[in-house]
Structure 1
């Protein structure tokens, strides 16, 4: 995951075309739906977490990948990053309003899948 896109609206009367390679919304969709972006958004759906709490909640993610994912999602405007000036600094991540809006259907999808699996249903 490389960098983030700045969330900016399309011009008046325009819609983003995510199927076009130059569309800025396409990068944001890629960041949200990549292997780790979706798990970060779901992990933060209930409360803000510090870096190491996020790493522990998302099993299998490396520190490097978590840092890259967080950086891109902050740049995309989906997460806010708060640093407390302590030694060492405490960094907390939380969803922005935009992040909650984007994360809501992902949480619903996650909940539907886990309910179905818990019920033992396949079809």
Structure 2
């Protein structure tokens, strides 16, 4: 499946976020994405849902200007990919896979805190 086809189900699947005051937010405030998501229908869909977007345009902008938040996410995914069991996805059940993701995140955090 192309990444652009998975954006809508991903955004719809985000659970409500509890805030300190007021009602829960049911959608993210803004979305940063690279050139793989540069499609007019995705931009319209995000605008219709009230989500501000920062999507690099093909042939015009560089993906590197999307900000430091995207780099944090990519670095974390890279750390998780360093765990062989997660990189190859040996587990068939999603519960088991998510349990190993949690264990890998705990190990990564432990290593970061002890050094």
Q: Whose Rg is larger?
A: 2
TM-score scaled by length of structure 2 = 0.28
Task: Pick the structure with more strand per residue.
Answer: 1
TM-score scaled by length of structure 1 = 0.27
